[in-house]
Structure 1
Amino acid sequence: MTASLTIALGTLRANPLRTALSTLGIVIGAAALVAVLTLGDGMERFGRQQLASTTDLQSVVLEPRTAEIIDNQAYPLDDYLVLTRADAEAIMASIPRVSAGLLTLSGSAQVTLPEGLTDTAQVIATLPGQADVLKRGFAAGRYFTAKEATARAPVVVLSFGLGATTGGGDVAAALGKRVGIRGQDYQVIGVMASTGPERMPSVYAPIDLAAVLLAPTPRPRAPTLVLQAERIEDVATVRAGVEGWLAARYGADWSRKARVHTNMQRVNQSERAILVFKLFLGAITGIALLVGGIGIMNVLLASVTERTREIGVRKAIGARRRDLLAQFLLESVTIAGLGSVIGTLLGFAGAFGVTALMRQRFGAPVYAAFSWGTLAVSAGAAVLVGVVFGIYPALRAARLSPIEAIRHE
């Protein structure tokens, strides 16, 4: 094998122009493939970041089963899950791949605004420091702190529309004003950013104030826990962790008390769409590699014809068929490998350079991303092309009769 490699490299060095031209096709194909896959990786990463920041695809929801549906009729259940703050903290601490959690208790209430105005709003009571899970920024102010929640401080955060009404059209002016809920006044410390038309105004408050903010009900109100997975791929792991916690706490029939659901269907759809996109573009650019492989085969076939006498002499002095087979295959794989290395470097440089230029000149949110998978695909494709398109010329050389080959002019 070492001798075959030495002869193969010597042949390539002896014909630099032929080697360069046969390598060029692989360089172009590998560069195109790497550039497309790198852009695909960048789009995938950017898309995941957008999904994580604007949608609930990474959410795992644990909510109580307060009713059972039979023949389209809801029948209340008495034995349902009532999560406490300690339960929520225990779940979040025991399950890996959880970036954040949101424990909420909600209901509607009449809100008395300044100037005597009243409005019906949805009161959402949460743990402190959970504004990031709500996937909203702030138009003005801030969210309540753990210290304020523990002290049961009378503070609230308003949705954008309700904040604008409270501030007379200026959300910043709403800060410091007081609104009344069920006979008690609460100071406005923040206004959420707008997310479009509001179906119903919202008031966010510490969950410790839920008992006074929300009207009493015949049955205990049951909070809902929303866990945020670190990545879309971690949703299944987080869900399994929640179900495991419930099974350990309530036994195998925990599903009678609570239910766990995700948007896995949308998650799977998004993953399939990204995969199909990358496969489609990869297949198109892979055609360039095939063209490069055909170029290698043509060059090697011409080389076999030119070196027929040399092949005959080598076989006459003891070269085996497998030696010749290895020599020509190594020539093919070397050409493909060299082209792959050069093409990979050019592909990465081109992808990162073009996307940087597009962001700078046009402000387009287009990114490239490095991944080991792209390197593996590029290297694997090069070896495959080298073997597939080198096998026929190698077999043709190996099968030559030494007598006929020596007589060849």
Structure 2
Amino acid sequence: MILPSIRVGFQTLRSNLLRTALSTLGVVMGVASLVAVLSLGDGMERYTRDQIEQTTSLQAVTVSALAGRQVDGVFVPDSTAPQLTPSDAALVDRLEGVRETVLTVDGSALVRHADSVTARGAYVQGALAGESQAARMVVTHGRRLSAAELAGDAPLAVVSAAAAARIVPGGIRGALVGDTIVLQAQAFQVVGVTASEEPTIHVPFALASQAMVPSRSARIPMLVAIVDSAEAVLRTRDAIEAALLQAHPDWRNRVRVQTNERRVEQVTQGILLFKLFMGAITGISLLVGGIGIMNVLLAAVAERTREIGIRRAAGARRRDILVQFLSESVAITALGAAIGLAIGLAGAVGATAMMRRMSEARIYASFSLSTLLVASVAAVVVGLVFGTYPAIRASRLSPIDAIRHE
């Protein structure tokens, strides 16, 4: 008797298409809003993650020494701050999961052309890196420093376009290639020029400290380890910290080992809160749709009381009546969910297209199986919950009283 009851429920819906359409409308709006919000949230999360990956590698573990500490709100420099060395970089490079390491040191400098007596301010960066990381340096004139040159002590330098403009004001940037510049009385031959607008000069790691203006804090190196995969970052971070503390027991609480995963987690949590908040708001419209379904079914029970009585008198059980009205409720929500999914997906695509047109953000709607399942299941649950009371009320009607009803 269950299948015939379901069939009767669908026949009833077809017999009154206008009422069915109106009761479905609330579910359509609720599901469409929910799908659009979740898809937009997923798209924003993917865009943000891509942006972070472009600026900060998620497969990087950064090791830096604490240059001092805060005492009553005042920063007190540590004159004995740990100094990361090429030996430490080699130690980390041998660890399982580490693809490559980059040891850098940064500081300010006074630079001048060898034929000039006027010195200008600039930044110096010394690096010790593998070939793949060294190849990341993009030059517009001349050539870059190779991994072997970065690890050596040859006085070679690559300057940025901004630094070149300071060294030779009004000169042609590429003309500086092959010339000699002076950093803190140390002469360097320029082999390349980058397009960077930051006044930076790249030199071998071993010569960086000599090229900088004397400053303790400026000479604290930083080590970046590139891990094989983002999934192994946390495990490798712990291995790096353990290896360095084993080699330098006095470094405990004096070095910081960090990953960029925390930044991604913070952004993801923010977007999750946005999705939950907007999902709750759009969920209200889904609840309103459920209330509309309940009202329609209660009206249907009142209109079809005599029909229910005749069915009960003909042998239909309470369960059959219950299934009939529940099937009507679920059918309405399922139909609304299907239409709402299509409208929500189209709305998300249209909204992201408008975002791309109005801004430079390349945001695209992201459709995941979980989003579609959440919206569909939510609609069916609403149908079951709000259809239960009318169905129970219909199933409890007395056959005799129902037949007498006019």
Counterpart amino acid of residue 278 in structure 1? K
TM-score, normalising length: structure 2 = 0.78
Deviation, 1:84, is: 3.9
Paired position in structure 2 for 1:189? 192
Question: Which structure 2 residues correspond to residues 369-380 of structure 1 after superposition, within 5 A?
Answer: 369-380=366-377
Partner secondary structure for residue 367 of structure 2: coil
Give the whole-Å Cα distance in 2 for the aligned partners of 1:58 and 1:111. 35
Percent sequence identity over matched residues? 45
Aligned to 1:166: 167
Q: CA RMSD in A?
A: 4.1
Q: TM-score, normalised by structure 1?
A: 0.77
Give the aligned residue type for 1:185.
Answer: F
List gaps (5 residues or longer) in structure 2: none
Does structure 2 conserve the Cα–Cα contact (< 8 Å) formed by 1:101 and 1:133?
A: no
Paired position in structure 2 for 1:40: 41
For these two proteins, the number of residue pairs brought into alignment is: 392
Map residues 136-285 of structure 1 onto 2, 5 A cutoff.
Answer: 143-146=144-147, 148-149=149-150, 154-169=155-170, 172-173=173-174, 176=177, 177-181=179-183, 182-194=185-197, 201-207=199-205, 210=208, 223-227=221-225, 238-247=233-242, 250-251=245-246, 255=252, 258-261=255-258, 269-285=266-282
Distance 1:273 1:208 in 2: 43
Amino acid of the residue matched to residue 349 of structure 1? A
Shift, 1:364, TM fit: 5.3
Q: Which amino acid aligns with 2:377?
A: G
Q: Measure the CA separation in 2 of the matches of 1:75 and 1:192.
A: 36
Q: Which string of whole-angstrom CA distances, capped at 9 and with x for unpartnered residues, describes residues 140-171 of structure 1?
A: 77753436546766543334532321342467
Aligned to 1:94: 97
Q: Conserved in 2, the CA contact under 8 Å of 1:163 and 1:174?
A: no
Q: For 1:6-405, what aligned pairs fall within 5 Å after superposition?
A: 6-54=7-55, 60-64=61-65, 76-77=79-80, 82=85, 83-91=87-95, 94=97, 102-113=102-113, 115-116=115-116, 117-126=118-127, 127=129, 129-130=132-133, 143-146=144-147, 148-149=149-150, 154-169=155-170, 172-173=173-174, 176=177, 177-181=179-183, 182-194=185-197, 201-207=199-205, 210=208, 223-227=221-225, 238-247=233-242, 250-251=245-246, 255=252, 258-261=255-258, 269-357=266-354, 359-360=356-357, 362-363=358-359, 365=361, 366-405=363-402
Residue aligned with 1:369, SS: coil
Cα deviation digits, residues 22-81 of structure 1 (max 9, x gap): 222211221122222222222232233334445689864212467788897555558765
Indicate if the aligned counterparts of 2:109 and 2:122 stay in contact, CA closer than 8 A.
Answer: yes
List gaps (5 residues or longer) in structure 1: none
Code of the residue aligned with 2:334 in structure 1: it is: G
Q: Is the Cα–Cα contact under 8 Å of residues 312 and 399 in structure 2 kept in the other structure?
A: yes
Between the aligned partners of 1:132 and 1:33, the Cα distance in structure 2 is 46
In structure 1, C-alpha distance between the alignment counterparts of 2:296 and 2:67, rounded to whole Å: 74
